[in-house]
Amino acid sequence: MEKERMPLGQAIFDELFLLFLLSLIISLILYNVWGLLDLLRTPLLPP
């Protein structure tokens, strides 16, 4: 019996570990790193 080929989209959606890594990378870079860099760039109060 020939098996129907698994669509790529379904294979990606089934790969929980991949989604997990992407989630962590997106959140850490866009929210944490970018945000903390913004705070670090705050200039000192001019005299």
Could you give the 3-state DSSP secondary structure of residue 22?
A: helix
Least Å from the CB of residue 45 to other proteins: 4
Contact at 8 Å (CB) between 12 and 18? Answer: yes
Burial classification of residue 10, based on how many CB atoms lie within 10 Å of its CB (0-12 exposed, 13-18 middle, 19 or more buried)? exposed
Least Å from the CB of residue 41 to other proteins: 8
Sites of contact with other proteins (CB under 8 A): 4, 6-7, 9-10, 13-14, 16, 19-20, 22-24, 26-27, 30-32, 34-36, 38-39, 42-46
Least Å from the CB of residue 15 to other proteins: 11
